[in-house]
Structure 1
Amino acid sequence: MNKISLLLTVLLFVSGCAKNETGNLNISENNSAIIGGTAATAKDLVTHSTVSFLMEYQGKPLSLCTGTLISKNMILTATHCLENLGEGIMAVYIGEKLPEVFDRSKLLKVAGWVTHPHYKLIEDQNRVPITGVNDVAVLRLADEAPASAIPVPILDPKTSLQEGQSLLLAGYGLESELNVPVYSTGLNYVHVPLAKIVDAILVTDQTNNQGACSGDSGGPAFLETAQGLVVVGITRGPHDQAQDCRHYGEYTYASKFKSFILKATAQLKGEAPKFVTLQ
């Protein structure tokens, strides 16, 4: 099995909203995305802070995962999106429509990343993924993001989330995972309620046939505030071994990893993100 085939096999297993393990609503050999959502436009705030990780596959761009711009040169994402990749294999894209051609000269180059040292995929006795812990990573861009990009702050641990709050999800993943998958050609977003909080995991209610799916892994769950968008979660995957994207999803609770995010950013010599408290 060559490197690309191995990578795609791993991504299909670890990401995808459908039967995924860690619940990062995964990537697959095609880009997967938000279901039941709305196509983002150039004017939407999510477009200026949500990014796609692209690689070239069979001559075309393949969207592997999603991430969130948290400073001019730092991106917040999931460990499972990066742990099996070489740094030269992908580039970063910001925009509402995915490019039709993989042209590195028009994409953002990656300088490096740090994955959480204690990330772990948890499986049942049959090796079926149940969840994942410490599924958080940061990536540094080689240069600053373009002026049109708008980094978002992260919710500070001093502010607590409440069940029932509305979360804004964004990603480049599947628009439908049932029967014949429908792959997104751009960024989509959708609002879902926060169902519950389990330790460092946010569980989103997607039973209204809306939510994150394969290819959205690593992407953001935002709060919409008077201060603008604030990122609170990182897409991980399906919750409670859901077999599709229409049950419950899991997000890594970003606030719980403030120390890791700041330490890893310093290690990469990147611009530190801001953490904000809300009233």
Structure 2
Amino acid sequence: MKTKLYVSSLIVLILSACGGYEASYSPVPDDTAIVGGTVTAKDNIISQYVVLIYDNPTKTYCTGALISKRLILTAAHCVGKGAEGLTLAFGLNPLAGQYVMKKAHKVATHDKYKKLNSTERNDIALISMKEDAPAFYRPLTLPDSKFPISKDLIFTAAGYGRISGKKTSADDTQGSGKLRHVDLTISHFSSDETQFYINQEDGKGICNGDSGGPALMRYSGKDYVVGVASAISWTVPGEVKASQKSQYIDNKDLCKDKSIYMNVIKYRQWIDDNSKKLL
């Protein structure tokens, strides 16, 4: 029996979330969140590392990770047109008013950032603040070239994003804006190792609003940020007709295929160089 071979369309979707929630998603219980993870409690050390980034002009938000008292590491597509439009909200549930607000001072975006490229994204940025982060926050450690990151390693993803990638009613926020975390496994790396990928078909992973969020690993007693959440990717099978494509996408959970992270090790020199310029 012959097997019919279909050509699929690969879609890469950046993960910033709409502040107005025009696109919203089906309900999932709060205790199975980020996608398939857990709400982060105040006594969890993860809560001391992560910040919500709100872009006022576009009313969208992302996630970032503190890497010094005045520096935040995030994705390039999260910083909008610059620092002037960015608000930094430190807290477990910022969209519910539970946060300490800081203003962005300066922004550095990778000069080779390619928004719609799936293999050479360079989707990484830094945000500086004029004043220190709140006293109860602490910076993560940056890995160097000797850090033992590899295929099949488990890390913890953290972010303020949605808990499902399936569209429902326009007023369903899908738990957006509440800090959550989940353990994920590195599936493989890009050929140049600047990116690593996650299989999210088991119902665990990142979604809209988690963009810029850290991939966390504990090593030798320290917590490291080894990755920056960049995008989810999914396919439209070749057998889906053009006239049915829109309906297929509407019925699909877009956050249950794969996701893309920037490998911080490969950007360590860029981070070091631009950190000095921002502070």
> Structures share a fold, TM > 0.5?
yes
Q: Provide the residue aligned with 2:36 in structure 1.
A: 36
1:160 pairs, out of 148, 158, 173, with: 148
Map 1:209-224 → 2, pairs under 5 A: 209-224=203-218
Q: Tell me, in whole angstroms, the C-alpha distance in 2 between the residues paired with 1:53 and 1:237.
A: 16
Aligned identity (percent) is 27
2:189 equivalent among 167, 189, 197: 197
Q: Give the partner amino acid of 1:49.
A: Y
Q: TM-score, normalised by structure 1?
A: 0.77
Q: Are the aligned partners of 1:167 and 1:193 in contact in 2 as well (CA < 8 Å)?
A: yes
The alpha carbon displacement at 1:55 in A equals: 4.5
Query: SS at the partner of 2:77?
Result: helix
CA shift digits 1:114-167 (9 cap, x unpaired): 0001111345xxxxxx45521111110110111100110011112231211111
Give unmatched runs, 5+ long, in structure 2.
1-9, 25-32, 237-248
Q: Could you say which structure has the larger radius of gyration?
A: 2
Offset, 1:40: 0.6
Looking at structure 2, the residues matched to 240 and 176 of structure 1 have their Cα atoms a distance apart, in angstroms, of 14
**CA–CA separation in structure 1 for the residues paired with 2:208 and 2:159:** 9
Letter in 1 for 2:48: H
- 1:214-242: CA deviations, max 9, x gaps? 11111111113342321100000013658
Residue of structure 2 in register with 1:73 after alignment = 70
Shift of 1:86: 3.8
Aligned partner of 1:235 among 213, 229, 236? 229
Residue 94 (structure 1) aligns with? 90
| Cα pair 1:52 1:63 within 8 Å, conserved | no
Match status 1:183 vs 2:193: no
Equivalent position to 2:263, from 223, 246, 253: 253
**What is the deviation of 1:183?**
3.4
Matched residue, 2:104: 110
1:176 shift after superposition: 1.4
Give the letter for the 1:112 counterpart. Answer: K
Q: Is the 8 A contact 1:36 1:175 kept in 2?
A: yes
Structure 2: distance between partners of 1:20 and 1:78:
18
Q: 2:6 is matched with which residue?
A: none
Count of residues in Structure 1 that have an aligned counterpart in Structure 2:
238
Cα separation, 1, equivalents of 2:178 and 2:60? 10
**Matched AA of 1:43:** D
1 CA distance for matches of 2:215 and 2:155? 6
1:5 paired residue number: none
